[in-house]
Chains A and B, each alone.
Chain A
């Protein structure tokens, strides 16, 4: 239930517990979605993910850095209609480098140690999404918005 102020805590818990998110980009107005392994800070922003530079999503992001990311805890059972929470993060993505932002690399690799080889490869880029706001859906239809203070 999102009543008093559990929205923030609920979001933190969701972002900590989930490993994958659906990233939404576009190319000349054509929407495009990709599944990405992500990590988030306790402040709810930024969210980081890694992608090869050759991918469509990376290409799309170079043209337009606006993104939406969907994180949810569905279990693919009928309980989801009542119990699942889905959060859409709205923001902008930008590339980061280990030299300037070692803490983001650490954050990411702590959550996904198996991706170390992937992240350190030359063709892989690390991106951070600076989140402006979240839209959180629970109980099937209840939707609340949380603005993220930069």
Chain B
């Protein structure tokens, strides 16, 4: 049995089986266009694979864990990662593998190839979703090509595909994927042609870069751009960018490297070549019967067509459609490295500098007018840094995802989240805070008289070393009475902090943070796979992943400190209003300050859910709720449902933390908790990160967790399977 077809063998009825990309290339080849040597693994091979391996059912189970509409992008990304891991760890059926291996050895004995998706849903005239599925460039040898075929298949279920599932008509039972394997042509320059400019149909658009066109296609390299009049063949516009990089095949993959000086100064195409490409665009449009979007490369004197599809663009969607933004979070290694440098060397120091300057300002000594100006200044600073958080800090979180993907591709672990064990223990701010709490608890444990003083509300009479620690803690992290790090006396004063210290003192943790003993071994195994340049890159990627993991938690604490300084200024104004009855300001300014104070969002109760939470129907009780396993282990305890920051201070040892969304500002109670349950889903969110740091069972993505579970409910958290059982296991019990 033959599990592939050559381009010459493809006929019109084969279109659905070979997908848009392979079908278009076969037509162009028959019409005489030069195409790199290619074969296609049709979609029915995908079907046979998922059927025989049982993957179809597993994909269905994964995607039906929760209504996709209710999943956040992070959860969709997680689902895509788990499905990718299923494809990676399932080998091809024997006959299929033997046949494909033979074909690959015959057609591509020495040459590196590109392994491209050719989805039957993609590239049709009515819907073009170029780029939603994966393609891999510079793949060597039959084994690696076979692995990459499975990765292309898996990309049918990538986060990008799942986000656009409606437009793609994605269905587990119907959807399928063909794969195009194409000889890699290392062209001197490459690019993209639009036979009709979408903004001006009288023009052809031509973009070109030196080397491979990877950087152009994913937006990393700005190309030279020409607009050419279709009738007169005249170049009406040429934009020459600053040319710095080009993509070349390197190792197994492609890399951006600096352009030699002579290439950097010259456009990738001469005028005659521009004209040849213009002719090619017009001929292809003629041949295919519709305007075409063509990827090409120039090899010697020949222009080769790499792929061609009808011109369409991703639907722009409404303003509420955030999918493009989500997809923009998937960034390249180079881009993330630049981002890291900017965050670590520019943004965090600038932010720290700003809040240190604000902290040094004696608010109580400012005249009312200056206080009003300071409030405004702090409000603007908070707004500015919130924007930075969304635009730069959040995208940097993709660093750990990128590391995870490379780790899984390389190591193929049974647990697709094994990579997190290498990233953890990276001295998170929240762990440093918890460490200080533990040190104070340890003092209380050793000196019983401190405990007595604390219980009697006389902490100021404790030994000076303890009082200094408390005050230093409050200066940096606040008194824990607010859901904002750094706010002192938000509602109740230091009583909450002292209560938590007493509770921690009563229940010493056995060596916490021991979950990473195997990290050294995992790191050694991972790095041992690489050599030379690749080893350096793997090390750099691991380092990037760790920085990304750290910032994912720290950024909220940094931002929260900024917010706390604004709150402190507003509280000072509020205090003066209460004492003096008025501020020495004009009416509107006073009103504005009063309003701002009332509207401080973090002083409001935690939102119970982003959606409306109707009342629990009478007589109905949950017995078992399913989420995502986000921290391994099983624990049982009474639930403490967090609806307000004051609930955190009531937290007692052994309780299960149940909340809508764990914020690093809340995680000081985690050393007391036996498990964590969260409505918000994902494996890389704060709740999951901190649970793993403390080795606690954790289940995230439990729909309406805070609605179904009540404080005091007995819950069993199964962090292996992602199941939360509520109530007693006994069926005869009267609950």
| CB neighbours of B731 from chain A (8 A) | 90, 135
Interface size class of A (residues with CB under 8 A): 20 to 34
| CB neighbours of A8 from chain B (8 A) | 617
Interface positions of A (Cβ within 8 A of B): 1-5, 7-8, 78-79, 81-82, 90, 135, 137, 139-149
14 A–B contacts, CB within 8 A, in A order: A2-B620, A5-B617, A7-B620, A8-B617, A81-B57, A135-B731, A140-B61, A140-B64, A140-B626, A141-B624, A141-B626, A141-B723, A143-B725, A148-B619
A-facing residues in B598-657 (Cβ within 8 Å): 614, 617, 619-626
Flag if B624 contacts A7 (CB, 8 Å): no
- Chain B residue with the shortest CB-CB distance to A147: B619
17 further contact pairs, Cβ within 8 A, besides A143-B624, A147-B621: A3-B704, A4-B617, A78-B57, A78-B60, A81-B61, A135-B623, A139-B65, A140-B61, A140-B65, A141-B624, A143-B623, A143-B725, A144-B620, A144-B622, A144-B623, A145-B727, A148-B619
Flag if B619 contacts A78 (CB, 8 Å): no
- Chain B residue with the shortest CB-CB distance to A135: B623
| CB neighbours of B66 from chain A (8 A) | 139
B: number of interface residues (CB 8 Å): 25
Interface positions of B (Cβ within 8 A of A): 56-57, 60-61, 64-67, 614, 617, 619-626, 703-704, 721, 723, 725, 727, 731
- A144 and B624 CA atoms in complex are apart in Å by 7
Flag if A143 contacts B617 (CB, 8 Å): no
Flag if B620 contacts A3 (CB, 8 Å): no
- A79 and B731 CA atoms in complex are apart in Å by 28
- A7 and B56 CA atoms in complex are apart in Å by 29
Contact of B703 among A3, A137, A143 (CB under 8 A): A3
- A82 and B725 CA atoms in complex are apart in Å by 19
Flag if A145 contacts B64 (CB, 8 Å): no
| CB neighbours of A90 from chain B (8 A) | 731
Flag if A4 contacts B614 (CB, 8 Å): yes
**Minimum C-beta distance from B634 to chain A (A):** 15
Flag if A142 contacts B64 (CB, 8 Å): no
Flag if A5 contacts B626 (CB, 8 Å): no
- A149 and B619 CA atoms in complex are apart in Å by 8
- A146 and B57 CA atoms in complex are apart in Å by 30
**Minimum C-beta distance from A80 to chain B (A):** 10
For the complex of A and B, 4 pairs with smallest distance between CB atoms: A143-B624, A82-B64, A5-B617, A143-B623
| CB neighbours of A145 from chain B (8 A) | 620-623, 727
Flag if B704 contacts A142 (CB, 8 Å): no
| CB neighbours of B67 from chain A (8 A) | 1
Q: Known interface pairs A81-B61, A82-B61. Does A146 touch B704 (Cβ–Cβ under 8 Å)?
A: no
Contact of B625 among A7, A78, A142, A148 (CB under 8 A): A142
Contact of B626 among A3, A4, A81, A139 (CB under 8 A): A139
- A90 and B620 CA atoms in complex are apart in Å by 15
| CB neighbours of A2 from chain B (8 A) | 620
- A143 and B708 CA atoms in complex are apart in Å by 12
| CB neighbours of A3 from chain B (8 A) | 614, 703-704
- Chain B residue with the shortest CB-CB distance to A7: B620
- A141 and B627 CA atoms in complex are apart in Å by 10
- Chain A residue with the shortest CB-CB distance to B63: A82
| CB neighbours of B623 from chain A (8 A) | 135, 143-145
- Chain B residue with the shortest CB-CB distance to A68: B731
| CB neighbours of B723 from chain A (8 A) | 141
